[in-house]
Amino acid sequence: MGKIQPETVSNLDQSSPLPVPMTSDESDKTLLGSLPIESELIVELQPSLSSSVTTTSVAQETTGSLPVEIDQIGAVPVTAPHGSKRHKESKKGHYGGEQQAKKQKKRLDLVNLEDDLKNAEFYFENDLRKIKPYFFKYQTFAKGRWLGRELIEVFNTEFRDRDNTFYERAIKDGRIKINGEKVSKEYIVKNSDIVAHDIHRHEPPVANLPVKVVREDDGVIIVDKPSSIPVHPSGRYRHNTVLHILMKEQGYKDLFPVNRLDRLTSGLMIIALSVKRAREFELMMQRCEIKKEYVCKVKGQFPSGITECHEPIHVACFKLTLNTVHPDGKACSTIFELLRYDPKSNTSIVLARPITGRTHQIRVHLQWLGYPITNDPLYHNQDIWGKSNGQGGITEEMEKELVKKLLERGEMDDETDYTLASSSANAATSQNGSSLGQPQGEFCNVCGLPSRADPEPEKRIMYLHAWKYQAKAWSFETELPDWAKESISSNTESSITKNTTILERPSTVDSS
């Protein structure tokens, strides 16, 4: 287990390359390069959106090939490590999309994203961006854990936001199909089956804040992402996402995200406008040539100076996207620096610099240190973690009970791809604790879905902001959010909010 090592600022060489390979942290998931492969799950490939390419799928987990499910709309594989099987298979057919689908005996239906976006009807109400409900077909290849089980059992256990009666009726009416055909509820799910569910989709609202393109330069755009808006279509969200908003409202067509932020996290995103440019950034990530810095607001008086945390992190539950410090976890390092302590609120503004990039890394390390992000709905929640709130770690028995409790509550990640079940706003509470609104007693006259109250303003934000990305030839920054500006002196704020430099093509990356 790693130790917490206080150091002085001068001991940290800010100009040196990062010593540990960077993969992805949940507040910033790198979308390029290797993907985690789990035998139990189909891993969703983070999408690069193109108006000309939409839905497809690639190999199944039980066949020995790469277990990847491509997102429902607009997703195509961006790239893969050179020489890998996925890289070789994705050289044609817009990086493997249609070509790989043609190799399958069974294939997912294709949808034209450009036409689909034209039909999306946004409207604005109560400081929220909303979209009118629409019909949509969810499709996926059967996941490994579904094989050999009855179809009705899969829906009842995997998708708990509707009851057994609803799923039995949907199967009987042919709204839930296997390989395009009606089946009985007792149908045994098989490898390579395509499971589809036609629904009337209700997306949750997001904050009515602009997705600002703060710079467009040399094949990339730099975006300042507001809190509450997901990056790409996933789970309950589809059109209410950064990529779809940019495509519909600002006319972009091909978008290749270099990094990904959680829905509640705000801040800087780098989006490439071509595969070639995206690959250059991928190589920089792999070579540890990009430094990332975040600003967060945590509970308590954080130690002054520099604090390092090297605790390994593992996934406690893939379905819940729940992560904890664990001795058998993956190597993980984050450097923290206190910027200011506010005794009145007993909170600290902290600069976080992830060296590695694990899921929820910053949030989990802050929880373990005993200084969780003040409004983190998952990792600062004593109802879930108990009095210790996970400080110093939890036992394996406690972890099992924690996972069991969350699964029984039906608290799912609102960005997780489990929405074959029904429309987007069914669950009142998401896995990460953010309220999606409570039933209001009214029902949709098309699908019978109960309407939900709008999420409260405090549930649309988490005090974690991606502030700066820096490489040898360039540096990008965003403005500090209001919650950080209020607690940081003008001198401190000035020192970390300088204008960005012009992006130059990385000289260390092969542009071929």
Kindly give the interhelix angle for 164-173 and 151-158, rounded to the nearest 10 degrees.
140
* Distance (Å, whole) CA 505 – CA 407: 46
- Residue recorded with tokens 């509550």: 409
Which of 168, 176, 221, 178 has the alpha carbon at shortest distance from 198?
176
What's the CA angle centered on 215, arms 209 and 221, to 5 degrees?
A: 85
* Distance (Å, whole) CA 490 – CA 493: 5
Is 115 in the active site? Answer: no
Quick one: how far is CA 464 from the chain centroid? 14
Q: How far apart, in Å, are the Cα atoms of 386 and each of 68, 103, 293, 394? A: 36, 50, 30, 10
| Amino acid occupying residue 22 | M
Instruction: Sort strands 194-201 and 128-131 into parallel, antiparallel or unpaired.
Output: unpaired
- Residue recorded with tokens 């190597």: 331
What's the CA angle centered on 160, arms 158 and 164, to 5 degrees?
A: 100
What's the CA angle centered on 72, arms 68 and 76, to 5 degrees?
A: 60
User: What single string gives the DSSP state of each residue in 131-142?
Assistant: E--EEEEEEEEP
The torsion of the CA quartet 202, 205, 210, 211, rounded to 10 degrees, works out to -60
* Distance (Å, whole) CA 249 – CA 68: 30
Q: Which residues of 315-332 are buried (b: 16+ CB within 10 A; e: fewer)?
A: bbbebbbbbbbbeebbeb
* Distance (Å, whole) CA 178 – CA 197: 9
Q: With helix as H, strand as E and coil as C, how does 59-90 read?
A: CCHHHCCCCEEECCCCCCCCCCCCCCHHHHHC
Neighbours of 280 (CB within 10 A): 21
Which of 378, 349, 121, 368 has the alpha carbon at shortest distance from 263?
378
Quick one: how far is CA 121 from the chain centroid? 24
Beta bridge partners of 422: none
Quick one: how far is CA 360 from the chain centroid? 10
Catalytic pick among 28, 224, 262, 414: 262
* Distance (Å, whole) CA 71 – CA 82: 23
- Annotated active-site positions, please? 262
